[in-house]
Amino acid sequence: MEFVNSFACKCISGFSGTLCQTNDDDCTDSSCLFGGTCVDQVNGFKCVCAPGYTGSNCQHRLDSCQQHPDLCLNSGVCVSVLDINSNEDRTLNQVVKSFAKCYCSKGFTGPRCEEVVDWCARAPCWNGATCLSFVNQFECKCRSGFSGALCDVRMVSCHAAATAKKTTVEELCQNGGTCSDVGNTHHCACRPGFEGSYCQIETDECLSMPCRNGATCLDRVRAYECLCPAGFQGTQCEMNIDDCENNPCQNFGTCHDMVNTFHCSCPHGTEGLLCEINVNDCHKDTCLNGGSCRDKVGGFECICPPGFSGPRCEGDLNECTSNPCSLHGSFDCVQLPGDYKCLCRIGWSGKQCERRVSICSLPKIAHMCENGGTCVESFNNSYYCMCQKGFSGDRCQYKHTQCNTNPCLNGGTCQSNKQAFQCECPIGIGGERCQYDVVNECFSNPCQHGGTCQDRLSHYTCVCAQFWNGLNCEVFDSDFKGGVGYMEDVVMASSKQIQHPDCAINNCSAKAGNGICDKECDYAECNYDGYDCSYKSHIYHSCSAVRSHVVDCNKLFQNGVCDEACMDESCLYDGMDCLPEPKRTCDLLYESYCSNHYADGFCDQGKKTNNFLLIKYKNEVKYYSNEKI
């Protein structure tokens, strides 16, 4: 971002500094847990965990079985008894002795399930049967007359077996079992949870080791129960209770669920067990140019004063780009540090040069007139000094006693007396020496048909458009090329017999609007060839009222009536007929005469001499005194 004689870099996430040259340290004391080492990266970090731990933040502790996956052999199940916290090297036998226990598959035994069970060593077979041992089972070879897995069932009927055991057939099979004759022997069908030839053995459901995470298994009839350690729940203690469920970590800290506890990894700028402490990131000179620092979680925000911007208020805004200065009252805007200054034109003041003031009230001008002269404000932000008798000059700095130096300018008449002189100025000219144009003759907009009025001393000239001649651009002249209109040209133009074409003879109605400018039809009487031609000579070519044939604004221009259809820019605002009548001011000697002859259709030119008024009215010269007027 560019500013005045400065710039500010908007850094991407993870970098800071004036030039975004600093890689922010994303590691905090709680980033990596349990002795893990934090390695800073771009907009992040990586944890190198200590032995026995894993996870993005080393939050997961590896138990003894996870650290030694080959501890239990022959499909034995490893259950961690105590976690290994030290980095000490231990043998597998030491681990299984103190930190873990192996639950062996059927047929294997030993601390690590490394030994095969000798099933026949316990003499499981009855009635003189022969025992055959295999890897995970044994088999009894029964003698004649016996059957069953252990050769403990005589090959007789249920009734005979019950009689031999001195019981009933219904109670021969225990625990609700049912006896049935099968061939030349009998068989007990046991209820679930019992086994053995006569259903005399309760099945141990804990042999399958259903309980997890170090839980204790309690064998029940046809069921089992797991006693879970702290931090686990579920039928088999398979679920770790989520200790982060209530979001205990504050200030956007990351919660890591542990066994029966939790741990918070705090973001940059916070600390504490729950990240509840917000470290103050605002320091001296954190914000520049008088900016106020507001601490945030893991950072800060600068509240900049007007005129400054940027992450640290380091950028000086260019207030001048928003154009704060008044278009009419100022001529330039100057950029200042954190501010701006409008350079006002003469006669304007205020922060934005928006307030119009009297020129004569300005300190530098108020005392310009010397020798008791009075400052008089003129038009176009100018002024002149009205001197006391006996003094003259731009600042009334000269003292005169006679007219021999011809002090009066622009046709002014010098009247001398014993102490000074006085200039009698022509109409429209004022000042001690008739040096100022005090009347804007263009105020009444005398130039017609798009002519431009130029104010002169006591008169005006019209710069007329092509084909419009005369002092006021009021006479159509096909030979006039444009410029200042003159009376002699008008006389010549009026003496011509201007012949307009016959629109019917030239078939102009058929040619109108064909996209070709037909010169024989390029006249107002022929509607300017349906506007096919260029109308640079016709000031009403873009007038909406004329083009839509609502009214001919050319004939209504300055007729003294407000024609609303012509009241827009394209129709030259109806010759200003819709404006309110301007307030007239006259010299006291002129006031009565001007009031009686205002807007009578004649230009009355006059000159004041002593107490008489010389008037040229309808080409006749008349004298008026105060009494006559």
Q: Phi/psi of residue 119, each to 5°?
A: -60, -35
- Give the CA dihedral 625, 584, 460, 476, nearest 10 degrees: -110
Pick from 559, 589, 563: nearest CA to 578: 563
- pLDDT, residue 262, reads 92
- pLDDT, residue 524, reads 61
DSSP 555: H
Q: Walk me through the domains of the chain, giving residue ranges and CATH numbers.
A: 120-213+218-223 (2.10.25.10), 319-357 (2.10.25.10), 504-536 (no CATH)
Give whole-number Cα distances, 543 to 447, 508, 561, 562, 578, in Å.
18, 21, 18, 16, 16
Q: Are 323 and 313 in contact (CB under 8 A)?
A: no
Run of H or E including 365: helix 363-366
Q: Are 473 and 451 in contact (CB under 8 A)?
A: yes
Pick from 288, 310, 286: nearest CA to 299: 286
Q: ∠538-539-544 over CA atoms, to 5°?
A: 105
- pLDDT, residue 179, reads 94
Q: How far apart are alpha carbons 6 and 2 in whole angstroms? A: 6
Residues of the chain with pLDDT under 50: 86-87, 488-500, 534-537, 582-585, 588-589, 609-613, 616-619, 621-629
Give 3-state DSSP helix, strand, coil % of the chain, rounded to 5.
15, 30, 55
Q: Are 381 and 353 in contact (CB under 8 A)?
A: no
Q: Are 78 and 71 in contact (CB under 8 A)?
A: yes
Which amino acid, one-letter code, is at 481? K
pTM of the entire predicted model: 0.40
Determine whether 78 is exposed, middle or buried from the number of CB atoms within 10 Å of its CB (0-12, 13-18, 19+). buried
Mention every residue, 6+ apart, whose C-beta is less than 8 A from residue 507: none
- pLDDT, residue 463, reads 92
Mention every residue, 6+ apart, whose C-beta is less than 8 A from residue 387: 369, 371, 372, 373, 393, 396, 432
As a whole number of Å, the CA-based R_g of the chain is 59
Give whole-number Cα distances, 612 to 379, 420, 588, 596, 623, in Å.
28, 22, 12, 17, 7
Determine whether 348 is exposed, middle or buried from the number of CB atoms within 10 Å of its CB (0-12, 13-18, 19+). buried
- pLDDT, residue 473, reads 92
- pLDDT, residue 328, reads 83
Q: Are 411 and 426 in contact (CB under 8 A)?
A: yes
Extract the tokens encoding 184: 């030349």
Tell me which residue has tokens 């992040």.
44
- pLDDT, residue 419, reads 60
The distance from CA 26 to its chain's CA centroid, rounded to whole angstroms, is 28
Tell me which residue has tokens 């052999």.
73
Tens of pLDDT along 59-95?
887 777 877 888 888 888 887 766 555 445 667 777 7
How many residues are recorded in the chain?
Answer: 629
- Can you name the residues that pair with 120 across neighbouring β-strands? none
Determine whether 222 is exposed, middle or buried from the number of CB atoms within 10 Å of its CB (0-12, 13-18, 19+). exposed
